Amino acid sequence: MAADSEPESEVFEITDFTTASEWERFISKVEEVLNDWKLIGNSLGKPLEKGVFTSGTWEEKSDEISFADFKFSVTHHYLVQESADKEGKDEVLEDVIPQAMQDLLCMNNDFPPRAHCLVRWYGLREFVVIAPAANKDVVLSESKCNLLLSSVSIALGNTGCQVPLFVQIHHKWRRMYVGECQGPGVRTDFEMVHLRKVPNQYTHLSGLLDIFKSKIGCPLTPLPPVSIAIRFTYVLQDWQQYFWPQQPPDIDALVGGEVGGLEFGKLPFGACEDPISELHLATTWPHLTEGIIVDNDVYSDLDPLQAPHWSVRVRKADNPQCLLGDFVTEFFKICRRKESTDEILGRSTFEEEGREIADISHALSKLTEPAPVPIHKLSVSNMVHTAKKKIRKHRGVEESPLNNDVLNTILLFLFPDAASEKPLDGTSSTDNNNPPSESEEYNLYNQFKSAPSDSLTYKLALCLCMINFYHGGLKGVAHLWQEFVLEMRFRWENNFLIPGLASGPPDLRCCLLHQKLQMLNCCIERKKARDEGRKTSTSDNVTNTYPGDAGRAGDQLGPDNLKGTEKEKGEVGKSWDSWSDSEEEFFECLSDTEELKGNGQESGKKGGPKEMANLKPEGRLCQHGKLTLLHNGEPLYIPVTQEPAPMTEDLLEEQSEVLAKLGTSAEGAHLRARMQSACLLSDMESFKAANPGCFLEDFVRWYSPRDYIEEEVIDEKGNMVLKGELSARMKIPSNMWVEAWETAKPIPARRQRRLFDDTREAEKVLHYLAVQKPADLARHLLPCVIHAAVLKVKEEESLENISSVKKIIKQIISHSSKVLHFPNPEDKKLEEIIHQITNVEAMIARARSLKAKFGTEKCEQEEEKEDLERFVSCLLEQPEVLVVGAGRGHAGKIIHKLFMNAQRLTESSDEAAGMAPPEEELKRMGSPEERRQNSMSDFPPPAGRELILRSTVPRPAPYSRALPQRMYSVLTKEDFRLAGAFSSDTSFF
């Protein structure tokens, strides 16, 4: 088809394409694609290095063309190479045969472990395939096949493309290709035979040699030598039982009630089935010549044990069932459930309580409503507790989701303090539970936003995971959660601290649920201190109270929002406040010894100026260094102050929103400062109480020392004197500091209005907990579960020491920390993390399986052991591993043994039980000669026989150029294929 017009010609010649057929158009499209991809002309690359097909990178380019309305995809596959010398590219090498033809003979990359089939069959480094674009489309009829092949031939001829061009015919799964490669005066035809049944004469070398020779039809005698490469692949599927040590966990034992409390803190690990399904041993004779060996239908020299090359690859079980992965996945599924706890458990449990319904439901409605009024005075505690018992009893009769033994074990595991004799003695529980571990591993929680691995939250997550998997699924989860919430309430009502939580304000680096629990603990701590304080100082209650302005400012904007702003310095940790009568705004500070001392000293000498000079100092914490009050030289005391109000992140969010909403105007800023001045005011009052007759200057020296400026001045007498004054900004008339100072009355912290209402906060937390659905709960705790899973994987990996797994774990950690830091991570991302964890688990399980199979642990010689370990780790990471020393090497012997044992088993399965250990087996075998005789039967018949026959022969006539000829044959159980590439000289034909 002459596509190029010649406009420069004098006579206008019209080239008419209007009548071009579909076929012509198809060919021109093929040419166009070849041109676009610059596959024209001869470019010789470097000779192929050994193994480059495996180690190098393969790339492909695709395009789509159509023949009428039938779509084909054209794909160019090529090995990426450093661009060969550029001069060579443009040179027109007349005599040189195309690269592809030369590659037919190259022996460096026979039998690549993983490659495109055309690469395997023909040893090509570059080729183009035209195949039906849609998967279901098929080119079946012979005439169509021929048409395609002719198109290819024409396109190659027209363009001068020397890259082999293939067409895929028949059904795709058959992988049938025909193709052609053209060079100057030479052509190679790629042909293929694919049969399901093998004709008998082709199962062995001699038969195949016959075909090859007849195909070549060489006119020469004697025939040029044929080089032969052979690979037999043996498959080992039948691992003996004892090679896979891991048993699935005994679930019955767990259910049976003999649950060690510890079991609940642990995650299961490992694959339930052997993650290595097959071992493939490839025995290769890379270079034989005809006549050296005999292989025909009655006799064969091809003894696998004698093969010069052995290589092994393992087939991994697809998605082996892995315990840890399943565990986490199942837990993750809860996140998508919509049911509420009540819906799952059914309300009936409460309704059947008869007479007590009213009381209990009343109590519970308290639970489920926001409780603006502190209700702790009600005897909810008792009610709930009896209700709890009843629920348990009740469930014991009917089928409850969790049986009592399991439930009790879990509760004991979560709340170990409940087991101790004096549950009331809850003071020590928190302090001892948190060994400050600074290790990187321990601090993982702050990357995952989960909770410390020794915390209650973390344990709860693990328990729920376990329950979900083994004990009643979603129902069990709902049940445990209900019990957990009841326990929380019980602890709040009865002043038992919650164990397993770091003391102090909520840790914002942890998950919200953990923060909530910490918050509850803070409330319990305060309430407890207050209640105990009341016991000790029964009659000492304060009556004259000041409704301090502190609280007022906050009330304007809703009391909740003020809490955080009123935080105070935490360093007064030693002293602890006890609170007076709970629902009043005032609290009582237990007088500590320090204060008493100060009191005694001060009470005598008083006489400062101002109105409060006669006041008795109250609420002193300690002396502030050597500072003294300005007016009278008395020591300056740091007062006992109200402790900061703990905040969880959602409260904080709310509060900062409120503060931000005030806007950026001056009034807004003023209001904001006012809102937050409660704590300043409270501190001022405490300070005034502790330092009777003090000035703002005194206060500033403690509170904001840089705002008190001291200068050395020389007084009238010529002495250097320190003279100090407030900074300019503190002196601004009626600034908020001055304002607050003027309003502040000398009231010790214990009698001030409470800045933190523990009762209300506790009820809010309890309510929050009660309304969490199992799905919410799962979302709260998923970070903990992922955290635990990562730790588990890490721990297991450290036993095996697999570097690639280490790397992946690191990736998982950094990936998860990114995902989990967002408030609502996408499901897809979470799934991906879980998937990655499962993958790592499978990898570790594979490593274990292989180590067990190859007995790396049993190996006594250090050197051999190292070699073997290296071999095993290569097996995991590389597609195919060469066995050093083939059948005679250490690893080779073990593989031989494995096959031998498997053969024994199939031969007589009865003997399986009484089989001798492999070590003795080898000894018994005796000398190598003896063994050799046996070895044929040591292996099963090869699952795959591959042969490559090569020669350089002139075709079609004796005087033609000698050109590469190649035939590849593969024979497997259900498949026989011959792939031939036969070149001929086209110069005179």
Region of 7-15, 18-26, 112-120, 616-624 interacting with other proteins (CB under 8 A): 112-120
Residue 962 corresponds to which tokens in the numbers above? 């000698």
When asked if residue 679 is in the footprint of other proteins (CB under 8 A), the reply is yes
Give, as ranges, the residues between 172 and 191 that touch other proteins (CB under 8 A).
none
- The answer to whether 331 and 474 have CB atoms below 8 angstroms apart is no
What's the half-sphere exposure (Cβ side, CA atoms, 13 Å) at 75? 14
Give, as ranges, the residues between 447 and 466 that touch other proteins (CB under 8 A).
447, 449
* Cβ nearer to other proteins, comparing 432 with 664: 664
Shortest Å distance, C-beta 260 to other proteins:
35
* Cβ nearer to other proteins, comparing 474 with 696: 696
As a whole number of angstroms, the distance between CA 237 and CA 239 comes to: 6
Where does residue 677 fall: left (phi above 0), alpha (psi -120 to 50 degrees), or beta otherwise? alpha
Q: Which of 276, 466, 621, 680 binds other proteins (CB under 8 A)?
A: 680
Q: Which of 425, 555, 826, 911 binds other proteins (CB under 8 A)?
A: 826
Bridge partner list, 67: 70
Q: Per-residue x/- marks for other proteins, 277-306, CB under 8 A? A: ---x--------------------------
Among 577, 613, 592, 622, which residue's Cα sits nearest to residue 749? 577
Residue 802 DSSP code: -
Give, as ranges, the residues between 37 and 76 that touch other proteins (CB under 8 A).
58
Phi, psi dihedrals of residue 664, rounded to the nearest 5°: -105, 10
Residue 51 corresponds to which tokens in the numbers above? 């193994």
Give, as ranges, the residues between 641 and 660 that touch other proteins (CB under 8 A).
644, 647, 649, 652, 656, 659-660
Distance of CA 765 to the CA centre of its chain: 31
DSSP string covering 864-907, please? HHHHHHHHHHHHHHSS-EEETTGGGSHHHHHHHHHHHHHHHHHH
H/E element holding 984? strand 975-985
* Cβ nearer to other proteins, comparing 727 with 798: 727
* Cβ nearer to other proteins, comparing 451 with 659: 659
At residue 693, the 3 state secondary structure works out as: coil
When asked if residue 808 is in the footprint of other proteins (CB under 8 A), the reply is yes
Give, as ranges, the residues between 947 and 976 that touch other proteins (CB under 8 A).
970, 972
Bridge partner list, 315: 278
Region of 14-22, 328-336, 345-353, 698-706 interacting with other proteins (CB under 8 A): 698-706
Q: What count of other Cβ atoms lies within 10 Å of the Cβ of residue 245?
A: 10
DSSP string covering 413-446, please? HH-GGGGSS-TT--HHHHHHT------TTTTHHH
In sequence order, what are the residues at sequence separation of 6 or more whose Cβ sits closer than 8 angstroms to the Cβ of residue 120?
111, 112, 968
* Cβ nearer to other proteins, comparing 918 with 944: 944
- The answer to whether 751 and 586 have CB atoms below 8 angstroms apart is yes
Among 987, 926, 922, which residue's Cα sits nearest to residue 957? 987
Residue 851 corresponds to which tokens in the numbers above? 């180590």
Bridge partner list, 635: 628
Region of 114-122, 333-341, 890-898, 929-937 interacting with other proteins (CB under 8 A): 114-122
* Cβ nearer to other proteins, comparing 53 with 269: 53
In sequence order, what are the residues at sequence separation of 6 or more whose Cβ sits closer than 8 angstroms to the Cβ of residue 763?
371, 374, 375, 376
Q: What sign for the dihedral angle of Cα 431, 437, 438, 444?
A: negative
Q: What count of other Cβ atoms lies within 10 Å of the Cβ of residue 378?
A: 13
Give, as ranges, the residues between 220 and 279 that touch other proteins (CB under 8 A).
233, 235
Shortest Å distance, C-beta 672 to other proteins:
6
When asked if residue 602 is in the footprint of other proteins (CB under 8 A), the reply is no
Q: Per-residue x/- marks for other proteins, 380-419, CB under 8 A? A: ----------------------------------------
Distance of CA 355 to the CA centre of its chain: 52
Shortest Å distance, C-beta 568 to other proteins:
6
* Cβ nearer to other proteins, comparing 27 with 522: 522
Q: Which of 96, 627, 662, 905 binds other proteins (CB under 8 A)?
A: 662
Region of 184-192, 563-571, 766-774, 915-923 interacting with other proteins (CB under 8 A): 563-571
Shortest Å distance, C-beta 676 to other proteins:
3
Region of 108-116, 391-399, 776-784, 919-927 interacting with other proteins (CB under 8 A): 108-116
As a whole number of angstroms, the distance between CA 562 and CA 581 comes to: 22
Give, as ranges, the residues between 504 and 523 that touch other proteins (CB under 8 A).
508-509
Shortest Å distance, C-beta 819 to other proteins:
8
Number of residues forming the site for other proteins (CB under 8 A): 73
Give, as ranges, the residues between 915 and 954 that touch other proteins (CB under 8 A).
943-944, 946
* Cβ nearer to other proteins, comparing 343 with 831: 831
As a whole number of angstroms, the distance between CA 33 and CA 217 comes to: 36
Phi, psi dihedrals of residue 310, rounded to the nearest 5°: -120, 140
Ranges assigned E (strand) in 701-745: 708-714, 720-726
Give, as ranges, the residues between 314 and 373 that touch other proteins (CB under 8 A).
316
Shortest Å distance, C-beta 235 to other proteins:
7
Q: Which of 2, 92, 140, 728 binds other proteins (CB under 8 A)?
A: 728
Residue 837 corresponds to which tokens in the numbers above? 């964890």
As a whole number of angstroms, the distance between CA 984 and CA 255 comes to: 76
When asked if residue 120 is in the footprint of other proteins (CB under 8 A), the reply is yes
Measure CA of the first residue to CA of the last residue in the chain; give whole Å: 22
Q: Which of 123, 551, 608, 825 binds other proteins (CB under 8 A)?
A: 825
Shortest Å distance, C-beta 987 to other proteins:
35
* Cβ nearer to other proteins, comparing 284 with 349: 284
Shortest Å distance, C-beta 395 to other proteins:
41
As a whole number of angstroms, the distance between CA 771 and CA 341 comes to: 8
Bridge partner list, 227: 289, 950
* Cβ nearer to other proteins, comparing 156 with 970: 970
When asked if residue 608 is in the footprint of other proteins (CB under 8 A), the reply is no
Longest dimension (CA), the chain: 134
Give, as ranges, the residues between 739 and 768 that touch other proteins (CB under 8 A).
none
* Cβ nearer to other proteins, comparing 273 with 487: 273
At residue 748, the 3 state secondary structure works out as: coil
Region of 79-87, 182-190, 411-419, 811-819 interacting with other proteins (CB under 8 A): 811-819
Give, as ranges, the residues between 870 and 899 that touch other proteins (CB under 8 A).
879
Region of 42-50, 115-123, 494-502, 618-626 interacting with other proteins (CB under 8 A): 115-123
When asked if residue 491 is in the footprint of other proteins (CB under 8 A), the reply is no
Q: Which of 103, 126, 180, 566 binds other proteins (CB under 8 A)?
A: 566
- The answer to whether 676 and 669 have CB atoms below 8 angstroms apart is no
Region of 2-10, 238-246, 524-532, 822-830 interacting with other proteins (CB under 8 A): 822-830
Shortest Å distance, C-beta 870 to other proteins:
20
Q: What count of other Cβ atoms lies within 10 Å of the Cβ of residue 913?
A: 6
As a whole number of angstroms, the distance between CA 251 and CA 470 comes to: 7
* Cβ nearer to other proteins, comparing 561 with 965: 561
Region of 5-13, 27-35, 96-104, 113-121 interacting with other proteins (CB under 8 A): 113-121
